[in-house]
């Protein structure tokens, strides 16, 4: 039985204890007992994403490799692997993002031994054919093809390509299309990729649900204990400081007119307040509670929506805000309004009550979200890929609590400046034309 009585520290956002054990090969094993009778979520976070794609012509490779992880081993060749996985009755899949690849299975807790066995096998003994490799590349191209219909996919690709010069965040996780078309020719590189990154020091196992830490640790030792450490560390070039505002534009009459302001922002941190402060700025200025939302969306109705966010990333990425416009002739006005809100938060301290409400919103949103083992495992994964330590979840919310109006003003002045801005537009016009 799970330890329902087991309570985490009183000031922890996660009300369940995070048990951690680092194996001799540096593989971190995390267990969170949670009262979900018969159910467990089994996650493996590998800290490799499109950020690690440092070589030219290899963009999109971390994501492609995630596909290859389903292509079998000697013990469980492709078809056998599918059969065994199907027999577990679990919901299993994987996904890749800027800083990580996550493999997950949620299913019957009594199948945990089998889950460990098949995961360890492919993480250590993956063995696909060259033909299988080439065929899988077509599925990635199919994924790009289906994503391309969305205006958000297209503008996001344009924004990062414009905003970054040197850092690998210049390409999306899908990669450049020409590199995707060339993927079938990269078989040898794929073997190298596996050797570099599918290693215990890059990985964390997270198990949440109807489980005991002792059992999980024993299974981890049994199946992953002999996984050999690697040597590789990607040399990721830092992004030089941007000197002036950059512009990117998509002309498309069918798309909904859009303006998006993207500032170079801070990397995620659970100790430095900049990221937490900018996270709060996004909520204060652009949530449905904000003055700007009331003005542009509710009252004037020139904007169909309003958004603002900073993504948690290992290296500095973007703080973004924008709107979808009802009429493309309002794009300049909408940009000016967003700009005025940003200027205000730089020049005046935010109201302390509003700040307290925003913190409350963030904490209760989190608390309501974690109502099943999968949601908890996902939340822990997020903080684990960012810092390598699942306890970061509790540290971050403690830090968020300490952010003051002065911290917000300081961070806003540091990051929200024209020289760090990439302005993106979509309209029927040849050029964006927004200043």
Ranges within 286-345 binding other proteins (CB under 8 A): 287-289, 293-294, 297-299, 301, 304, 326
CA distances from 107 to 36, 90, 101 (A): 11, 4, 20
**Is residue 140 within 8 Å of 190, Cβ to Cβ?**
no
Residue 86 in contact with other proteins, rule: CB under 8 A: yes
Distance between CA atoms of 391 and 321, rounded to whole angstroms?
30
Site for other proteins in 34-53 (CB under 8 A): 35-36, 38-39
Q: Does 23 bind other proteins (CB under 8 A)?
A: no
- Site for other proteins (CB under 8 A): which residue of 218, 339, 361, 404? 361
d(CA 325, CA 334): 8
CA distances from 240 to 246, 308, 322 (A): 14, 24, 25
Q: Are strands 258-264 and 318-325 parallel, antiparallel or unpaired?
A: antiparallel
Output DSSP code: residue 244: S
Please give the backbone phi and psi of residue 274, each rounded to the nearest 5 degrees, phi first: -55, -50
- Which CB atom, from 231 or from 368, has the smaller least distance to other proteins? 368
Assess 149 for contact with other proteins (CB under 8 A). yes
Contact at 8 Å (CB) between 140 and 60? yes
Strand, helix or coil at 158? Answer: helix
Q: What's the closest the beta carbon of residue 64 comes to other proteins, in angstroms? A: 13
In the complex, least distance from residue 85 CB atom to other proteins, rounded to whole angstroms: 8
Nearer to other proteins, 188 or 241 (CB): 188
Residue (362 or 394) nearer to other proteins, CB: 362
Question: Minimum Å distance from CB 291 to other proteins?
Answer: 10
Interface pick for other proteins out of 72, 175, 184, 213 (rule CB under 8 A): 184
Q: In what order do the strands lie in the sheet with 258-264?
A: 246-251, 421-427, 258-264, 318-325, 303-310
Residue 106, SS3 per DSSP: strand
Q: What are phi and psi of 81, to 5 degrees?
A: -60, -45
Q: Which is nearer to other proteins, 54 or 367 (CB)?
A: 367
Residue 220 to residue 305: CA distance in whole angstroms? 47
Beta carbon of residue 150, minimum distance to other proteins (angstroms, whole number): 5
Per-residue interface string for the shown chain with other proteins, residues 189-228, x marking contact by CB under 8 A: ----------------------------------------
Q: Considering the rule CB under 8 A, would residue 83 count as an interface residue with other proteins?
A: yes
| Cα-Cα end-to-end distance for the chain | 62
- Smallest distance from the beta carbon of 161 to other proteins, in angstroms? 18
Whichever of 159 and 377 has its CB closer to other proteins, that residue is 377
Identify which range of 90-98, 118-126, 166-174, 338-346 contacts other proteins by CB under 8 A: 90-98
Give dist(CA 174, CA 393) in Å, integer: 28
Minimum separation from the CB atom of position 63 to other proteins (A): 12
Beta-bridge partner residues of 306: 323
Residues 246-275 that bind other proteins (CB under 8 A): 252, 254-256
Site pattern 110..139 for other proteins (x: CB under 8 A): -------------------xxxx-xxxxxx
Query: Parallel, antiparallel, or unpaired for β 39-46 and 28-33?
Result: unpaired
Per the CB < 8 A criterion, the answer to whether 392 and 386 are in contact is yes
3-state secondary structure of 40: strand
CB-nearer residue toward other proteins: 27 or 32 = 32
CB of 209 to other proteins, least distance (A): 10
365 binds other proteins (CB under 8 A): yes
Minimal distance in Å, beta carbon 33 to other proteins? Answer: 14
* 125, 166, 192, 364: residue in contact with other proteins (rule CB under 8 A): 364
């Amino acid at each position: 039985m799970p330890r329902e009585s087991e309570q985490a520290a009183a000031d922890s956002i996660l009300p369940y204890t995070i048990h951690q054990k680092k194996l001799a090969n540096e593989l971190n094993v995390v267990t969170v007992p949670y009262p979900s009778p018969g159910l467990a979520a089994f996650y493996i976070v590998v800290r490799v994403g499109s950020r690690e794609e440092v070589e030219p012509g290899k963009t999109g490779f971390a994501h492609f490799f995630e596909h290859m992880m389903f292509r079998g081993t000697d013990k469980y060749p492709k078809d056998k692997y599918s059969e065994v996985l199907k027999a577990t009755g679990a919901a299993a899949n994987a996904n890749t993002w800027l800083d990580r690849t996550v493999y997950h299975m949620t299913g019957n807790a009594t199948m945990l031994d089998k889950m460990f066995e098949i995961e360890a096998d492919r993480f250590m003994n993956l063995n696909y054919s060259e033909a299988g490799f080439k065929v899988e590349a077509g599925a990635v191209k199919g994924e790009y093809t289906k994503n391309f219909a969305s205006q958000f996919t297209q503008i996001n690709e344009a924004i990062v390509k414009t905003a970054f010069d040197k850092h690998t965040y210049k390409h999306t996780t899908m990669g450049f299309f020409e590199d995707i078309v060339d993927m079938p020719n990269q078989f040898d590189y794929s073997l190298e990729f596996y050797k570099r990154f599918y290693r215990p020091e890059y990985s964390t196992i997270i198990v949440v649900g109807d489980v005991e830490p002792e059992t999980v640790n024993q299974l981890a030792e049994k199946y992953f204990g002999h996984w050999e450490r690697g040597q590789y560390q990607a040399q990721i070039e830092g992004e030089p400081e941007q000197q002036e505002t950059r512009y990117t534009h998509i002309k498309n009459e069918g798309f909904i007119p859009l303006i998006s302001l993207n500032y170079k922002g801070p990397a995620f941190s659970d100790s430095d307040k900049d990221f937490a402060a900018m996270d709060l700025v996004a909520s204060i200025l652009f949530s449905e509670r904000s003055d700007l939302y009331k003005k542009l969306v509710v009252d004037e109705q020139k904007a169909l929506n309003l958004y603002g966010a900073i993504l948690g990333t290992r290296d500095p990425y973007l703080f973004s805000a924008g709107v979808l416009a009802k009429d493309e002739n309002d794009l300049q006005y909408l940009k000016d309004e967003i700009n005025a809100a940003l200027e205000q938060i730089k020049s005046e301290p935010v109201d302390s009550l509003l700040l307290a409400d925003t913190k409350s919103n963030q904490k209760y949103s989190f608390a309501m979200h974690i109502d099943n083992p999968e949601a908890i495992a996902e939340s822990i994964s997020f903080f684990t890929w960012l810092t390598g330590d699942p306890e970061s979840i509790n540290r971050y919310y403690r830090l968020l609590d300490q952010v003051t109006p002065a911290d917000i003003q300081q961070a806003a002045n540091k990051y929200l400046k024209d020289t760090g801005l990439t302005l993106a537009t979509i309209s029927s016009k040849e050029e964006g034309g927004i200043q």
